[in-house]
Amino acid sequence: MNLLQKALFFSAVPLSLTANLQAAPVEQTFSPFKKWRGVFAVKPGVDVPFNFEITGTNAGNAQVFFINGQERFNAGRISWTKDSLFIYIDQFENELAFGITGNNTLTGSFRKQNNKKTVYPVTAAAGISQRFTHPKIAPLKDISGTYDVAIQQAGGTEEKAVGLFTQDGNRLQASFLRVTGDSRFLDGVINGNTFYLSSFIGSGVSYYTGKVNPDGTINGEIVGARGNTAFTARENEEAALPDAYTLTTLKEGYDALNFIFPDANGIPVSLNDPQFKNKVVILSITGSWCPNCYDEASFLSEWYKQNKQRGVEIIALHYERQNDSAYVKKALNGFRKKLGITYTQLFAGIADKQQVALSLPALNTFLAFPTTIFIDKQGKVSKIHTGYSGPATGRFYDAFVKEFNAEVDKLVK
């Protein structure tokens, strides 16, 4: 069409139609490289927010990070087409499957990788950095501090825990320590006398809410899809859990462990093998599916690289969700690659406390993944530590690291 033909065409078209032609939007190309605010629909009336960021410039270098306060957790693989985006959280065998509903909006589900069963519906919007979007109301008070926590259990019993709160205006961060491990990094807000906290790294959704009473005590709930668990908290800077070195013991008459388990390639490994002879051995009862185990392995991986020349070995006994060889190899090697592990990993059985008891019959009690066992140069068990207090627990984590190093220092002499 030449210029004269174009002029004649537009002069013959009604004004209203030419206006519509001129206003037609230009199709935008979707880019995932943004900060996102997601929301899980956990159950009717309960929406739990989380934050994530997708960085990079193309599919080849794209990375996804789940953000919980000061934590940036490397989530896993990502792929997208013109109408779909997938975040593959391989470590926990989950995924976020989104339909792209706009250049800055996503709608989909948090689901299992193996059967695509939806755990929760989820939406996400770009450009919103605030986690909880409640109107800001001046906090009743600053609740920063350490708290004695009583978590209500079935049958009317209470589980003792420790709560750690850090408040800056309306911003609130927290972690709860239990015998079995900590809640990791909880991030949220406090408005008036009510607080909201959440966390997500790809395993499950954590959501805590509570009210602060005029006397500073707290009544709260751990909110889940199947029900809520109530807790109360009272400030006590000396709050502490039972000594983690006294909870798991050996049965009477035992002073050592004896086992043979295969590595990721099916090769049997024993504590009596030459590579462990006359060395201090740190035995970690762990699993790639376990967030607290991830934190412990992050610590052990770097610690081992710096200390293995001292005559120390680490053996991770993995208890995983399946026991077929292909699955085990994928789980152990994926964990190794993600955390840069260079110490020995073995497959010990299915992820079940009873399985641990059966496969390690010398243990009198087994309460938590992870559990860490210190073994001296003669192969005798020196100490057993139940659970793990990770970086989110501040001074409790520092105390664990100090005690860990002190025990190793004593054993390598």
pLDDT tens column, 206-254: 999 999 999 999 999 999 999 999 999 999 999 999 999 999 999 999 9
Q: Give the domain range for residue 191.
A: 145-235
Kindly state the tokens that stand for 21.
């032609």
Distance of CA 313 to the CA centre of its chain: 26
CATH of the domain at 352: 3.40.30.10
Q: Tell me, yes or no, whether 42 and 91 share the same domain.
A: yes
Note the pLDDT of residue 98.
98
| pLDDT higher than 60, residue 9 | no
Q: Per residue in 47-61, is it b (16+ CB within 10 Å) or e — as a string?
A: bbbbbbbbeeeeeee
| pLDDT higher than 70, residue 26 | no
Q: Are 87 and 78 in contact (CB under 8 A)?
A: yes
Q: Tell me, yes or no, whether 201 and 264 share the same domain.
A: no
Q: Tell me, yes or no, whether 211 and 279 share the same domain.
A: no
Q: Are 303 and 295 in contact (CB under 8 A)?
A: no
Q: Tell me, yes or no, whether 267 and 382 share the same domain.
A: yes
CATH of the domain at 55: 2.40.128
Q: What amino acid is encoded at 278 in this protein? A: N
Note the pLDDT of residue 76.
85
Q: Tell me, yes or no, whether 215 and 99 share the same domain.
A: no
Note the pLDDT of residue 368.
97
CATH of the domain at 221: 2.40.128.120
Structural domain includes residue 53: yes
Number of domains in the chain: 3
Report d(CA 331, CA 334) in Å as an integer. 5
> What's 154's DSSP letter?
G
Q: Tell me, yes or no, whether 289 and 387 share the same domain.
A: yes
Q: Tell me, yes or no, whether 91 and 231 share the same domain.
A: no
Please, what is the Cα angle at 141 between 139 and 144, to 5 degrees? 110
Side-chain-side CA neighbours of residue 111 (13 Å):
13
Q: Tell me, yes or no, whether 122 and 151 share the same domain.
A: no
| pLDDT higher than 90, residue 120 | yes
| pLDDT higher than 80, residue 25 | no
Report d(CA 113, CA 96) in Å as an integer. 9
Structural domain includes residue 247: no
pTM for the model stands at 0.90
Model confidence at 2, in pLDDT bands (50, 70, 90)? Answer: very low
294 in helix, strand or coil?
helix
**69-71-242-366 Cα dihedral, nearest 10 degrees:** 130
Kindly state the tokens that stand for 66.
């789940």
Structural domain includes residue 19: no
Kindly state the tokens that stand for 136.
């800001």
| Mean pLDDT in residue range 129-155 | 93
Tell me the C-alpha to C-alpha distance, in Å, between residue 69 and each of 38, 132, 253: 15, 12, 47
Nearest to 70 by CA among 358, 410, 397, 378: 397
Structural domain includes residue 301: yes
**Beta strand extents in 31-103 (DSSP E only):** 35-43, 46-55, 63-68, 71-80, 84-89, 94-102
Structural domain includes residue 113: yes
Note the pLDDT of residue 135.
82
Structural domain includes residue 20: no
| Mean pLDDT in residue range 89-100 | 96
Structural domain includes residue 25: no
Q: Tell me, yes or no, whether 121 and 149 share the same domain.
A: no
Report d(CA 174, CA 9) in Å as an integer. 67
Note the pLDDT of residue 28.
58
- Helices 395-412 and 291-307, interaxial angle, to 10°? 40
Structural domain includes residue 398: yes
Q: What is the pLDDT of residues 147-176, one digit of tens each?
A: 999 999 988 899 999 999 999 999 999 999
Report d(CA 392, CA 396) in Å as an integer. 9
Tell me the C-alpha to C-alpha distance, in Å, between residue 349 and each of 29, 75, 286, 354: 47, 26, 11, 10
Q: Tell me, yes or no, whether 121 and 163 share the same domain.
A: no
Q: Tell me, yes or no, whether 392 and 286 share the same domain.
A: yes
Nearest to 231 by CA among 211, 215, 204: 211
Q: Tell me, yes or no, whether 369 and 230 share the same domain.
A: no
